[in-house]
Structures are given as C-alpha cells and as structure tokens.
Structure 1
Amino acid sequence: MLSAVILGLVAIAFIMIVIEDIIHVNKAKTTLFFGTLCWILAFIFPMHGSTSAEISEQLNHNLLEIATLWLFLMSTMTFVAYLNSKGFISQLVQRILPAELSERRLMFLIAVFAFVFSSFADNVTATLVSIAVISAIKLEMKKRIQYATLIIFAVNSGGVSLITGDVTTLMIFLAGKVTIPHLLLLVAPSLFAVAVLAILLSHNMKGRIVLEKSPKKLEKPDIIIACIFAATIGSTLVFNILFQIPPVLTFLFGLGIMFLAAQYLLRKKPGVSILNYIREVEFDTLLFFLGVLLLVGILKEIGVLNAIPQLYQYLDPTQANYLMGMTSALIDNVPLTAALLKSGVEMSPAQWLMLTYATGVGGSILIIGSAAGIIAMSKVKELTFITYFRMAGYLLGCYSLGYVGVYLVGTTVLG
C-alpha cells in the first residue's frame, strides 16, 4: 500500500516539474516537499519489516551521495557567482568578439564559446552569459530563435565532457562508471555535432552585425580569482588522474584559497566580504537536485527502480542508451540518470560513455528537457515550446550524429 502511495507522490512531483511554467510553482519547492514527505512516510509506515535503524541507514547512504554532489556544485557556483557579479565574464566576452562580423561567423563563435564555457562552468551560467550576448544584438525574431537554439544544444553538448560541466556527467563519474580520460573522448564527437547544427541553422544567414562595446578595465582582484578558478579546474582533473583525489575535495580546497586570497585583495574595501557571494549561488538549482535525489532514493528503496533495467534486457545497451537520451527530453535527466545508476544496470565503459552523452545532450531535443532550455525560454521572449519544436528535426539529427560519433570513438578506444 505504501509503495503505491509513494509512487503516486513521485508521479505528482514529476508532473509538477514538467508543468512548472503553467502552475508557477518552482520545481525546487516541489521536489523538496515530496522528497522529504516520502521519506517521512517510510519511517512512519515501515515496509518489508524494516526497522527505523535500517531506514536511517538507507537515508544516510542517500544523503552522503547528495552531500558530495551538493558541495561540489556549491563550490563551483560560488566562483562563477563572484566573477559574474563583477561583470568579469561579460567583459571577457566583449574583448574576445570582434567589433564587426557576419551573422554566420557569430553563429560559430557563439557555438564554440557556449561549448567551451559550459565545460568549465555550470550550464545555468553558460546559458545566461551566451544569451546575454545575443540579446545585446539587434536580430530578427527568427534569427534570435536560431541563435538561442544553438546555444542550448552547445551548452548541453559542452557540459558532458567534463565533470565540472554537467551534473549527470558528475553523477556517472562519482559512481565509478567512467574516468576523466574516458570523458575527454566525448569532446570531438560532441563538438562535431554542434558544428553541424551551426551549419544547418546559419545556412541562410548572409547579413553582418556591428557590436556595441563598452569595455571596462578588468580589476586585479577579479583577474587573480579567475586564475584561481582556472587553476582549481585544472588541478581537479590532474589530481584525480594522478592520485584519485575526489573532485569535491580539490574544489573545496580551491574555494578555501579563493576566500583567503580575497581576504587580502579586498582588505581596502570595508564592508565587502567574499562570503557574501555564496548567497548569489543558484540555491534553487541545488535544492532541486536535493529533492530529486531524495525522490529517486526512495524509489530505489521500495523496489520501483528494478523495472528500469528491463529495457536493457530487451534491447542492446547501445540502443537503450539512445532511447534514454530521447527520454531525457521529457523527463529531467537528473532523476533519469540517478534511476539508472541506482538500478544496477551493467554496461561496459564505452556504453556508460554513450549514456553520459545521451542523457546530457538528449534533453536538448525539447526546450523543457534541460535547464539550459528553460533558462533560454525565460530570457528570449520569442522562444517558446512551439517555436523551438520547429527545430526538433535538426536537433534530433545532430543528437543522433553525436551519439554515433561517441559510439565509434568509445568502441575504438575502449573496446
């Protein structure tokens, strides 16, 4: 009986996530409420003869996984929140782009920028900064939609190749299914798929664009903190490969260096505290992940996730992973990935690599399938579910092309 109740509550939670824009209830509030409610019910009405101690052990195991992910994201987003609030990122973008360029060239520059930036920063910031660039330019409605579509696909594609870029990539990595050298194999096929989409979307673009620039001097403290951020990203990758140091530990260490450096650099600015920038972190995003992982955790404990591997019993993992990517366009890729990881599906490293790409990029097919899509839709008024859906053929084709590329690279290198 309790299993049916919990399953119903989880279904309601996920439906409310999908229709968030209709009911105007933030998905973080929804998932946190239903996630905690389900676990409380599990304590009040124990299942399968479980004791309170056994349920506590199950909850603690889930909370440990959540805490690792939470702390990693929090430390990353604090760096980005500081640099973004100081205008460092936007000024850097203005310095990189030329004063005048063709619409087609801008399409490729935006694609590369969104792809690379999302690999090192979170998808939320990468999308906001990229959308801000095209919003400052006078473009026709159709072209603005095309640029925004490319940004969504590029951000999601760039994020899958590094643990700093995409939550699902981080989840699969922390589960020990792939290594950092494995993930780097995703760069070439992902970038190729983005380039093909840029070619398709810019086919009829022949105009030129003049950018209005207002460059400001980059302040020394901001440059130093940006360098600390870059060094933290690099050392996270290197230390994990050489010494298997958990990424969360390296990033928290980098955050500590940032705080100490800022204490000295900002000493002549009374009332300014680097700790205040933690408040600018997207805690809605962190709370959403907390709620989702609580929901997925309780589903595992009641045995519901045992049904997920059935698809892999009827289909080859290569085919099943491709379909899982398309499913992530309808179901948020975080609970989908968490469900697969907790379900006990057995795959080779090459097949886990395909799943990493599929769940990270597949959400681009529909605008509600990724955080990048939701953010872009809120910032570009012409971008709606319908206008974006008109690009679904291009997006599905490029997703499929990238997936085939990952399959070829993965099977060739990893066997």
Structure 2
Amino acid sequence: MSSLEAVLITLAVLALLGVIFEEVTHVNKAKVTLFFGTLSWILLFLASGSEEETASISKGLSESIAEIAGLWLFLVAAMTFVAYLNKKGMIENLIYLIMPKQVNERKLLFLTGLFCFIFSSLADNITATLVSCSLILSLDLELKKRLQFITLVVFAVNSGGVSLITGDVTTLMIFLADKVEILTLLTLAVPASLTVFVLAIFLSRGLTGTVTLHSTKTEIRPVDAVISGLFLLTILCTIASNALFSVPPVLTFLFGLSIMFLVSRFMSDDNDLDPILEYIRVIEFETLLFFLGILLLVGMLKEIHALDSFVAIYDVMPPLYANYLMGIFSAVIDNVPLTAALLKAGIEMSPGEWMGLTYAVGVGGSLLIIGSAAGIVAMSKIEGLTFGRYMRYLAHLLAAYTLGYAGVYMLGRFIN
C-alpha cells in the first residue's frame, strides 16, 4: 500500500467516524462527508504522475458524478412532492381520515405500524417518522408505552421503504445499479409487512388503555387534491414505464414534477406568497449533500482498489449469511456508504441474493436507534428515547429482522 492510499483510506475512516459520532461532535454528517469526499479526489489529482493516470482518475470521477446526478435528481423530484403535500396538511389529514376517533392502544399500535409501512414506501422514511412522532406526541401515553410505539415506527418505516425505489435510498441505489428489477422489488413488501405485524404483536404487551385522537384537519383545496393524485400516479407510471419500456425512473419522476408545476400554475394563483418552486428549497438538502459526500468517498475507494478487501467476507461465506451480517453491520455503519461500497466492489450475486441484501441494509439499521435516519429523527423528537431504552427491545427487533430475512430468502429462491 502506497502512502497516498494510506492517507485516502484514513480520510474515508475519519468521514465514517464523523457520521457515527455526529451526536458527540455536533458536526453535521453532510459537512463531514462532503469535506473528506472532495478532499480525497483533489489529492488523487494532485498526486497523479502522468497524463494517462490523470485521464483515468478523471474518468472515474465522471462516472461517480453521473451516478450521483441520477440519484440526486430523483430524490429532488420525490422530496419536492412530499414537501408540498406535508406543508398543505394532506399527510396529516390522511392520518385522521384512516384513524378512528377513539381506539384502544393495542389496535392503534397495529394501525400505526400499517400506516408507517405504507406511507414510508411512498415518501421518504424521515417524513414518515416525523409525521408518526407528531401523532404519538399528541397522545397522552406514559413513557414505556410511548417507547413501544416509537420502536415499531422506526422498524415499520425502514421496512416499508425496501420494496419501492421511492421509499429508501439504498433500494434506489441497488435498483439503479441494475441488480434487481422494479417489479421484483415489489414482492419484498410481503415478508417485510408480515414482520412489522409480528413485531407489533411482540410490542403490544401491556397496551390495555383507550386513547382519543384529536383531529386538526386543514382545508383541502382542489389543487392540493389533484397534486396528491398526481404523486401517486407518478409512482405508478414510474413502475409501469420502467417494467414495460425500461424508462429510467428519474425521467418519469422529473416529468411528474413538471406536471405538478403546471397544475399549480393553472389551478391556483401560484403567487409570491406561496410559489410552487419554493418547495424545492425546503427539501432536505443536508441529506442530499450527505449522499454526495459518501458517494464521492466510495468512488475514490474504488479508484484506488481499496474495496477489494472490504468485501472479503463474501469470499469466506455464502451471500446468504454475508448479506444477513451486512444488515447487522448497517445498524453501526450507515447503510448508504455500506451499500455503495458493496455495489462498487463488483460482487456477483443472483437476483434473489440481491433482494436479500436490499432487505438487510434497509431494515438492519432498525436494530439500533442510531442505525438509521428514522431512529435519529425519532430520538430527537421523542423525549425519553435513549440508546439504552431502545436497546431493551433489541431481542424483539432482531427476531423480526431475522424472520423477515428468512422470508426474503424463500422468496428469492422462488425468483431464482
């Protein structure tokens, strides 16, 4: 290993530590990864010894930028839709539409899990977690019961995202790498939803009371209802057009976004007080910058061939067990860099085995409260939710994760 490679690998490790210990350093992980990601590529260019080597580095950077651009544009389109619907109260209205006015705690737990699973597959898991936290905080629950609810929320939003490319970034990354087909991914919803139900049974012990939901419905304008329908139609068209005509999902979603802008222009005033284009500015750019930094770092590691040793676990055990362990690792190591590294390493697996990895890295982060964006958001919103208190449910979470992975394995065998 050359001194340059040692320096670059050290930078990648420092970036990963910055992500893991964000709560300790109080430095946003997007800033850390973007700094180390760009610095590593600059050092590669500065250390280049020939024109041929510079051209090779430039080609590698261009490939990484192209992958990042596709991911970014898709997420910008999807997150703009969600930001608009959330601001207009459509999501909150949906909750109070499907939830009964008065319900016992056990039934509400199951309904919350179902809502989180479905909603997080359509929107991002951060938005789903925020909405669910608001619902839980509106209930007069004691701390233990509140923790039972939020534990299911974290697991359910992560489980819901694995079967649709709109629901989880790692699912989108694996799909864009042509490892799984979009219709094949949809089948993951079966084992993923069953394990949410099983976990709800585990967590429902002691829930015997009754709660009353206080509705805070907002007025729905015709334009908001149309854009809600347009969002669902865009998702359906994305799946259908890719399955039938191989149209890239990013293209369909950008087309849907353009129609959203036109609908807003002709169905509402779209005035300076609430212009539709402003919703692009309120999406979570910190999340997008984090992905940018991480993918730059992983692209650099591929450029210096440092990922070969990273995936050595696949040389010593079958993908069935290796993928399961990767899911557990994703509770400690952020699943985005983990997935990016595995994709860049050139691992050869069957479609069924890639499905297993998709489920593992998508749901495995639920095992620890710091293992997923949903967990971090929940910890910041729910008072009393700590790392240790969440760990009390580790056995339940691990059992549900293992059961779900086993279901995906059986499904994968059928697909193969």
- TM normalised by structure 2 equals 0.98
Cross-structure match for 1:260: 262
Q: 1:10 to 1:48 in 2, by over 3 A?
A: farther
Q: Which amino acid letter does the alignment assign opposite residue 22 of structure 1?
A: V
Cα separation, 2, equivalents of 1:355 and 1:319: 10
Displacement of 1:296 in angstroms is: 0.6
Cross-structure match for 1:33: 35
Cross-structure match for 1:386: 388
Which deviations, in whole Å up to 9, do the C-alpha atoms of 1:32-85 show, x marking residues without a partner? 001000000000012798532221111000000000000000000000011111
Matches within 5 A, 1:275-314: 275-314=277-316
Deviates more, 1:348-357 or 1:127-136: 127-136
Query: SS at the partner of 1:209?
Result: strand
Cross-structure match for 2:167: 165
Query: SS at the partner of 1:138?
Result: coil
Q: Does 1:399 align with 2:406?
A: no
Deviates more, 1:267-276 or 1:230-239: 267-276
**Contact kept in structure 2, 1:95 and 1:215, CA below 8 Å:** no
Q: Which amino acid letter does the alignment assign opposite residue 313 of structure 2?
A: L
Cross-structure match for 2:214: 212
Q: Does 1:339 align with 2:332?
A: no
Matches within 5 A, 1:356-395: 356-395=358-397
Q: 1:47 to 1:157 in 2, by over 3 A?
A: farther
Matches within 5 A, 1:241-252: 241-252=243-254
Query: SS at the partner of 1:62?
Result: helix
Cα separation, 1, equivalents of 2:187 and 2:91: 27
Q: Which amino acid letter does the alignment assign opposite residue 166 of structure 1?
A: D
Query: SS at the partner of 2:163?
Result: coil
Q: Which amino acid letter does the alignment assign opposite residue 409 of structure 1?
A: L
Cα separation, 2, equivalents of 1:378 and 1:406: 32
**Contact kept in structure 1, 2:155 and 2:196, CA below 8 Å:** yes
Displacement of 1:86 in angstroms is: 1.3
Displacement of 1:130 in angstroms is: 1.2
Displacement of 1:330 in angstroms is: 0.5
**Contact kept in structure 2, 1:293 and 1:335, CA below 8 Å:** yes
Displacement of 1:273 in angstroms is: 1.2
Deviates more, 1:332-341 or 1:305-314: 305-314
Cα separation, 1, equivalents of 2:68 and 2:332: 23
Query: SS at the partner of 1:177?
Result: coil
Cross-structure match for 1:111: 113
Query: SS at the partner of 1:288?
Result: helix
Displacement of 1:271 in angstroms is: 3.8
Q: 1:47 to 1:162 in 2, by over 3 A?
A: farther
Query: SS at the partner of 1:280?
Result: coil
Cα separation, 1, equivalents of 2:53 and 2:270: 57
Q: Identify which of 66, 69, 85 aligns with 1:64.
A: 66
Displacement of 1:249 in angstroms is: 0.2
Q: Which amino acid letter does the alignment assign opposite residue 363 of structure 2?
A: V
- Displaced runs of 4 or more, over 4 A: 47-50
- TM normalised by structure 1 equals 0.98
Q: Identify which of 174, 177, 190 aligns with 2:176.
A: 174
**Contact kept in structure 2, 1:309 and 1:344, CA below 8 Å:** no
Q: Which amino acid letter does the alignment assign opposite residue 8 of structure 1?
A: T
Cα separation, 1, equivalents of 2:356 and 2:272: 51
**Contact kept in structure 2, 1:2 and 1:47, CA below 8 Å:** no
Cross-structure match for 1:7: 9
Aligned residues: 414
Cross-structure match for 1:409: 411
Which deviations, in whole Å up to 9, do the C-alpha atoms of 1:297-319 show, x marking residues without a partner? 10111111011331111101101
Q: Which amino acid letter does the alignment assign opposite residue 408 of structure 2?
A: V
Cα separation, 1, equivalents of 2:102 and 2:307: 54
**Contact kept in structure 1, 2:264 and 2:270, CA below 8 Å:** no
